[in-house]
């Protein structure tokens, strides 16, 4: 029978899933308290949320958010939800970096990813982690837009420059 605490928790997890651009379902079992606290501190610095919830409650929250999930797919063992609210790539980069530091454990191990509304398996983790962060993408986009505008501006200014050059040459010739 669902308790009010569990109902409230499912509501909060559903809200977190809906408001996040990416949710990483990670297995954290094997990390000691110091490592988990270190990981949480790094996530807090990057504005990334992490929450440990029972798999049954995660499944209910996903269904409430509009996703149909078979519990056996990835909701087995211990599961931590890692929320990427601002930039969906930053949690992947952070989890990969932390996993390299704990290479003897290989944890946290991502079991599945809910990225921009689509589910992916753990095999997509490295591809997502290799994507540039939001700021880099925006800078590339803006430079891609501004370059053609600079070219147009140069073409429009060329006749005036040429006319000014001819007038200066005539002035120098008369002197």
Q: What is the pLDDT of residue 1?
A: 62
Per-residue pLDDT, 11: 93
pLDDT digits (tens, 9 = 90+) for 94-109: 998 888 888 777 788 8
Supply the DSSP string of 58-119, one letter for each residue. Answer: HHHHHHHTT----HHHH--S--EEEEESS-SSHHHHHHHHHHHHTTTTT-SEEEEEEETTEE
Strands of 22-163 (E only): list them.
22-27, 48-52, 80-84, 109-115, 118-121
Q: Determine phi and psi for 93, rounding to 5 degrees.
A: -65, -45
Instruction: Evaluate whether 109 touches 25 at the Cβ level (below 8 Å).
Output: no
Structure tokens at 93: 């980069």
Instruction: Please report the pLDDT score of residue 87 as a whole number.
Output: 86
Place of tokens 């880099």: 136
Residue with tokens 């297995």: 27
| pLDDT of amino acid 91 | 92
* Cα–Cα distance measured from residue 125 to residue 109, given in angstroms and rounded to the nearest whole number: 10
What is the model's pLDDT at position 117? 84
Q: Which range, of 1-5, 33-37, 134-138, averages the lowest pLDDT?
A: 134-138
Render pLDDT for 47-80 as a digit per residue (tens, 0 to 9). 899 999 999 999 999 999 988 877 677 888 889 9
C-alpha 152 chain-centroid distance: 35
pLDDT at 19 over 80: yes
Rounded to the nearest 5°, which phi and psi values hold at 112? -160, 160
Distance CA 141, CA 149 (A): 13
Mean pLDDT of 13-42: 90
At 66, list the tokens.
């509009």
The answer to whether residue 23 scores a pLDDT higher than 90 is yes
pLDDT for residue 24: 94
In this predicted structure, the answer to whether residue 121 has a pLDDT above a threshold of 90 is no
């Amino acid at each position: 029978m669902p308790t009010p605490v569990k109902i409230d928790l499912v509501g909060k997890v559903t809200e977190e899933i809906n408001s996040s651009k990416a949710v990483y379902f990670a297995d954290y079992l094997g990390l000691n308290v110091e490592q988990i606290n270190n990981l949480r501190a790094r996530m807090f610095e990057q504005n990334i949320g992490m929450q440990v919830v029972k798999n049954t409650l995660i499944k209910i929250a996903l269904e409430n958010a509009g996703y149909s999930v078979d519990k056996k797919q990835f909701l087995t063992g211990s599961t931590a939800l890692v929320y990427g609210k601002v930039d969906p790539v930053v949690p992947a980069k952070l989890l990969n970096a932390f996993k390299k530091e704990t290479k003897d454990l290989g944890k946290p191990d991502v079991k599945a990813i809910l990225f921009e509304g689509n589910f992916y398996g753990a095999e997509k983790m490295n591809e997502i982690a290799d994507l540039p962060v939001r700021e880099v993408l925006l800078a590339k986009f803006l430079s891609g837009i501004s370059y053609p505008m600079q070219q147009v501006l140069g073409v429009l200014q060329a006749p005036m420059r040429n006319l000014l050059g001819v007038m200066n040459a005539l002035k120098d010739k008369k002197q």
